[in-house]
Amino acid sequence: MSLPAAGLPAAGLSRARYGRETLHAEWTKLRTLASTGWLLLSVVAVTVAVGATTDAAATCPSGGCQADPAKISLTGVQAGQAIVAVIAVLAISGEYSTGMIRVTLAAMPRRLTVLAAKAALVAGLVLAAGAVAVLASVLIGRLILPGHGFTLANGYPALSLGHGPVLRAACGSVLYLTLIALLSLGIATAVRESAVAIGLVLGLLYVFPVVTSVVGNQHWQRHLEQIGPMTAGLDIQATTNLGSLPLTPWEGLGVLALWAAGALIIGALVLRFRDA
Amino acid sequence: MTTLSPYRSTEREARDGFGQLLHAEWTKFRTVRGWVAGMILAALITAGLGVFLAKASANPSCSSQTSADQQGPVQHGAACGGPGYALGPGGEPVQDQFYFVRQPLAGDGSITVRVTSLTGLGQGTNNGVPFGAIAVPWSKAGIIIKDGTSRGSAYAAMMVTGGNGVRMQWNYTGDTPGTPGTVSAASPRWLRLTRAGDTITGYDSADGTHWTQVGTVALAGLPSTVQAGLFVTSPSHSTYSSSLGVGTGSSNPTQSTAVFDHVSRTGEWPASAWTGEYFIEDGEMAVQGNGYHQAGGRFTVTGSGDIAPLVSGALNDGPNITVRDYLLGTFAGLIAVAVVAALFMTAEYRRGLIRITLAASPDRVRVLAAKAIVIGSAAFVAGLAAAAGAVLIGTDIAHSSGSALFPEPWPTELRIIAGTAALVAVAAIFTLAVATMVRRSATAILIVIVTIVIPFVLSAPPGIPTGLTEWLLRVTPAAAFALQQPSPQYYQVQANYIPSSGFYPLAPWAGFAVLCAWTALALILAAYLLRRRDA
């Protein structure tokens, strides 16, 4: 089936102009929803709070430990990602629940452009909120952790973004949250119903770390950690003991990127070929 | 001219009872294919993950035990040379390993000793510091009356411990404190056990003249001739370091030496001399150095092991797989159930059906109650099927593949299965109440996932500091996962009692009460808002 070169309105907008207009329309929708702001704020709040609590609960006895301070202070990402998923899911499924999607697609018939605009906006917003959350988490870790035994004497310099691996962990965590948003957007576009989409995303994310924790078979365990979007993606937070990781940090984030790309492609196909 | 009578429906007039309301809500639930499918999916996910976990953990790596030489011979559930264990009189797996200087005691009688020292002779090191300076807190030296020499047999014992004063212990799980304080030559402890029929009474004393009764126990079915004498044992020293992603535990064997004198006996002791043996069946793998030495009335006894229940969990000495591990998929099924429960309410608002519902049954609180009963029952059935499937199939797989599965007494197994169903059911009602309050399924699901699923997920893999996860598992509705705790925490056994090994900070039903309290609160708020707000 070949659709007509629909979408270019009579005014004869250029492709770029059309894209900009779509982006602007989507931005207006997202911006004027009260929930967007609240959810972004709670991404920061939950991430920072869980990170700070973990910092406060962590201890490194004198004589050293195997802990990874960057990972500890970024633990909040594991909770904050749940809210990121909700933001991304609501960006599309909110339209289905209210019937707005029909207006959207009537006004902007190029469906993939609409999805691309949504993806860009959601990614941008999560990138910004994630950056704030991660920066604050690292800063709090830098303040709290030395009081819990993570001192130079035990082999742990204070967390600093000037340290290469810590910078990688911090930037990587922001990218991780962004990729989680794209994964969620893709799944939500495919299943449409917000509750189902959120359940699917979070089930998919959390099932791997929980299952691998009890799989006794090392071979299985390693494979599960390599393919799980959350277990692989969070490899990016490692700054010590890199040799024991099932994947290198960037490979791990790459696995998550593949998941996100796969979800977006499925979402795009469903959006393109199914009645709204 | 004929008169027309107005049309009357031949249908019987429906009554407006709670039964009708329940039936209406059940019809709504039953006729939405997606919701029924969601519940079935929830059960399949949980049970399926359970089967997967049972298969994937069927051949645990044989090198994970750091203290294999400390374990006795294989008796039950031995997988590739893993730890074996005996079952105690209460059916729980136990460790029954100690150095025993014994004689048979025929009929009633008593044994009295004085203990003047108990010191540790550790093997291995703790963070680079060798053991040896002090006895581990639960090293034990004293006198014991035991039902024969088979492992796991009934006993009662009076003992001094490395750091917990005098204790009377019996049948592995029983424990009563006596005089506190550590033993030394300057402050020795006198211990006495008397047997009268099935009853054994323990006494302690600081001077050998003023005696205090510590406890008395009945050991049902004790034979007339028992083994009695001196014993010393010293449990392995467990350490756990929690670091993200690398939760590492180690378990190092320790040894302790005690000095006894003033041994006196009453009753009939037919053997002429003491027999000393390292008490594990077949006497194999005796830890080097265990033994005893008698000079005059002085006995110096060195032993290693423990007389105590085994503790489950990956980082402990017991069989490390428990049926709780097969239920780790509960949280995934719970997400599916929560999605259905949220939609059960929010779909009414989305479609405007709520107005018809409330027109037909104007008592809004009754509508909420009917919905809660319907969704709770459906979730209970799904949870029960899931838990029973995961546990029963998982156990079957473990037994056929020879995995070291921690054996559960049937009441515990029943509590784990029924408790999981109750957890899922109440969580569904909690979700329904939250969905009634917020009216949007996305928000409701988010709240449920943040409060129930995430605390569990953070606690499941080892690595997150246990201070945080234990706090979360006390105050959030996720506390109800304590219903899945596979074995009790024994304060008299030092082990890694951490959530990732299946040990929750609250007792099983106390944890469930936390979820119920949150659900009650949510239901009250939901009922209030449902009445006060326009639909």
Measured in angstroms, the CA of A87 and the nearest CA of chain B are apart by 10
Residues 6+ positions from B531 with CB-CB distance below 8 Å:
B364, B365
Task: State whether A67 and B241 contact (CB < 8 Å).
Answer: yes
Task: State whether A214 and B57 contact (CB < 8 Å).
Answer: yes
Q: Say if CB B317 and CB B84 are below 8 A apart.
A: no
Residues 6+ positions from B88 with CB-CB distance below 8 Å:
B94, B96, B152, B171, B172, B173, B309
Interface test with A, best of B44, B64, B243 (most A CBs within 10 A): B243
| Structural class in CATH, domain B86-309 | mainly beta
Angle B329-B330-B335 from CA coordinates, rounded to 5°: 100
Residues 6+ positions from B491 with CB-CB distance below 8 Å:
B175
- B418 phi-psi bin (left φ>0, alpha ψ -120 to 50, beta other): alpha
Q: What is the pLDDT of residue B287?
A: 57
Closest CA to B493 of B264, B245, B238, B244: B238
- Distance of alpha carbon A65 from alpha carbon A51, whole angstroms: 19
Please tell me which of the candidates B58, B332, B442 has its beta carbon nearest to residue A198.
B442
Other beta carbons within 10 angstroms of residue A155's beta carbon come to: 11
Task: State whether A53 and B336 contact (CB < 8 Å).
Answer: no
Handedness of CA B466, B469, B474, B480 (dihedral sign): negative
Q: Which two tokens stand for residue B92?
A: 């729980």
Closest CA to B264 of B316, B333, B194: B194
Q: Write the DSSP symbol of residue B191.
A: E
- Is 50 exceeded by the pLDDT of residue B283? no
Which amino acid is it at A209?
P
CA distances from B336 to B46, B53, B341 (A): 10, 19, 9
- Distance of alpha carbon B481 from alpha carbon B423, whole angstroms: 7
Count CA atoms closer than 13 A to A122's CA, side-chain side: 29
- Distance of alpha carbon A115 from alpha carbon B61, whole angstroms: 47
Q: What is the pLDDT of residue A57?
A: 82
From chain A, the residues in CB contact with B440 under 8 A are 194
Task: State whether B56 and A215 contact (CB < 8 Å).
Answer: yes
Rounded CA Rg of chain B: 30
From chain A, the residues in CB contact with B316 under 8 A are none
Please tell me which of the candidates B52, B332, B464 has its beta carbon nearest to residue A203.
B332
Q: What is the pLDDT of residue B401?
A: 81
Q: What is the pLDDT of residue B317?
A: 64
pLDDT tens profile B241-271: 544 334 455 666 778 889 999 999 999 888 8
Report residues of chain A scoring pLDDT below 70.
1-12, 61-64, 216
CA distances from A26 to A19, A105, A107, B273 (A): 11, 12, 11, 93
pLDDT tens profile B318-342: 667 888 889 999 999 999 999 999 9
Q: Write the DSSP symbol of residue B500.
A: G
ipTM: 0.83
Label residue B64 by pLDDT band (50, 70, 90).
Answer: very low
For B157, list phi and psi in degrees, rounded to 5: -145, 150
Biggest alpha carbon distance in chain B? 130
Q: What is the pLDDT of residue B519?
A: 97
Task: State whether B442 and A46 contact (CB < 8 Å).
Answer: no
Interface test with B, best of A43, A137, A201, A214 (most B CBs within 10 A): A214
- Domain parsing of chain B, residue ranges: 18-57+321-532, 86-309
User: Residue B172 in 3-state DSSP?
Assistant: coil
Q: Which two tokens stand for residue B269?
A: 């002791």
Measured in angstroms, the CA of A209 and the nearest CA of chain B are apart by 7
Task: State whether A244 and B461 contact (CB < 8 Å).
Answer: no
From chain A, the residues in CB contact with B461 under 8 A are 209-210, 212-213
Measured in angstroms, the CA of B87 and the nearest CA of chain A are apart by 24
Interface test with A, best of B41, B446, B469 (most A CBs within 10 A): B446
Q: What is the pLDDT of residue A41?
A: 94
User: Residue A140 in 3-state DSSP?
Assistant: helix
Please tell me which of the candidates A72, A199, A216 has its beta carbon nearest to residue B60.
A216
Q: Say if CB B486 and CB B312 are below 8 A apart.
A: yes
User: Residue B58 in 3-state DSSP?
Assistant: coil
B23 or A68: which carries more pLDDT confidence? B23
Task: Please name the residue of chain B whose CA is at the shortest distance from the CA of residue A70.
Answer: B244
Closest CA to B493 of B308, B219, B289: B308
Task: Please name the residue of chain A whose CA is at the shortest distance from the CA of residue B60.
Answer: A216
Closest CA to B228 of B40, B101, B132, B402: B101
Q: What is the pLDDT of residue B244?
A: 39
Please tell me which of the candidates A58, A71, A214 has its beta carbon nearest to residue B328.
A214
- B289 phi-psi bin (left φ>0, alpha ψ -120 to 50, beta other): left
Q: Looking at B71-80, B146-155, B468-477, which range is the least confident one?
A: B71-80
pLDDT tens profile B47-58: 999 998 888 876
Cβ neighbourhood burial of B180 (10 Å; 0-12, 13-18, 19+): exposed
Mean per-residue pLDDT of chain B: 84
From chain B, the residues in CB contact with A75 under 8 A are 244, 458, 464
- Distance of alpha carbon B416 from alpha carbon B322, whole angstroms: 11
Q: Which two tokens stand for residue B460?
A: 């499941």
Q: Which two tokens stand for residue A103?
A: 């207006």
For A259, list phi and psi in degrees, rounded to 5: -60, -45
Task: State whether A211 and B328 contact (CB < 8 Å).
Answer: yes
Q: Which two tokens stand for residue B160?
A: 């001094």
From chain A, the residues in CB contact with B342 under 8 A are 195
Task: Please name the residue of chain A whose CA is at the shortest distance from the CA of residue B458.
Answer: A78
- Distance of alpha carbon B385 from alpha carbon A219, whole angstroms: 30
Task: Please name the residue of chain A whose CA is at the shortest distance from the CA of residue B50.
Answer: A211
Task: State whether B446 and A83 contact (CB < 8 Å).
Answer: yes
A40 or B500: which carries more pLDDT confidence? A40
Q: What is the pLDDT of residue B325?
A: 87
Task: State whether B314 and A214 contact (CB < 8 Å).
Answer: yes
Describe the strand order of the beta sheet including B307-309 as a list of residue ranges.
Answer: B86-87, B93-96, B307-309
Please tell me which of the candidates A54, A61, A215 has its beta carbon nearest to residue B464.
A54
For B235, list phi and psi in degrees, rounded to 5: -70, 160
Q: What is the pLDDT of residue A19?
A: 85
User: Residue A68 in 3-state DSSP?
Assistant: coil
- Distance of alpha carbon B437 from alpha carbon B149, whole angstroms: 64
From chain A, the residues in CB contact with B331 under 8 A are 206, 210
Handedness of CA A125, A127, A128, A133 (dihedral sign): positive
In the block, tokens 């009934």 appear at B154
Task: Please name the residue of chain A whose CA is at the shortest distance from the CA of residue B324.
Answer: A214
Angle B483-B372-B428 from CA coordinates, rounded to 5°: 40
Residues 6+ positions from B418 with CB-CB distance below 8 Å:
B384, B387
Task: Please name the residue of chain A whose CA is at the shortest distance from the CA of residue B53.
Answer: A215
Interface test with A, best of B41, B61, B320, B457 (most A CBs within 10 A): B457
Task: State whether B450 and A46 contact (CB < 8 Å).
Answer: yes
Distance of CA B87 to the CA centre of its chain: 16
Q: What is the pLDDT of residue B494?
A: 79
Measured in angstroms, the CA of A174 and the nearest CA of chain B are apart by 19
Task: State whether A215 and B453 contact (CB < 8 Å).
Answer: no
- Is 80 exceeded by the pLDDT of residue B495? no
Angle B35-B36-B38 from CA coordinates, rounded to 5°: 60
Cβ neighbourhood burial of A196 (10 Å; 0-12, 13-18, 19+): buried
From chain A, the residues in CB contact with B465 under 8 A are 54, 57-59, 72
Question: What b-and-e string marks burial along A40-67, b requiring 16 or more CB atoms within 10 Å of the CB?
Answer: bebbbbbbbbbbbbbbbbbbbeeeebbb
Q: Say if CB B127 and CB B222 are below 8 A apart.
A: no
pLDDT tens profile B198-241: 999 999 999 889 999 999 999 988 999 999 999 998 887 766 55
For B174, list phi and psi in degrees, rounded to 5: -80, 140
Residues 6+ positions from B488 with CB-CB distance below 8 Å:
B309
Label residue B59 by pLDDT band (50, 70, 90).
Answer: low
Q: Write the DSSP symbol of residue B476.
A: S
pLDDT tens profile B36-46: 999 999 999 99
Q: Which two tokens stand for residue B465?
A: 């500091």
List, as one string, the DSSP characters of B112-165.
Answer: EEEEEEEEE---SEETTEES-SS--TT-EEEEEEESSSSTT--EEEEEEESSS-
Label residue B280 by pLDDT band (50, 70, 90).
Answer: low
pLDDT tens profile B364-382: 999 999 999 999 999 999 9
Task: State whether A194 and B445 contact (CB < 8 Å).
Answer: yes
From chain B, the residues in CB contact with A222 under 8 A are none
> Inter-axis angle of helices A77-98 and A100-107, to 10 degrees?
80
- Distance of alpha carbon A101 from alpha carbon A94, whole angstroms: 9
Q: Say if CB B278 and CB B303 are below 8 A apart.
A: yes
Interface test with A, best of B345, B443, B449 (most A CBs within 10 A): B449
Task: State whether A86 and B442 contact (CB < 8 Å).
Answer: yes
Measured in angstroms, the CA of B457 and the nearest CA of chain A are apart by 6
Task: Please name the residue of chain B whose CA is at the shortest distance from the CA of residue A195.
Answer: B442
- Distance of alpha carbon A85 from alpha carbon A39, whole angstroms: 10
pLDDT tens profile B304-324: 888 888 887 666 666 678 888
CA distances from B503 to B252, B446, B464, B494 (A): 21, 26, 15, 13
Q: Looking at A148-152, B29-33, B443-447, B525-529, which range is the least confident one?
A: A148-152
List, as one string, the DSSP characters of B220-274.
Answer: TT--SEEEEEEEEE---EEEEEEETTEEEEEEE---EEEEEEEEEEEEE--SSS-
Label residue B501 by pLDDT band (50, 70, 90).
Answer: confident
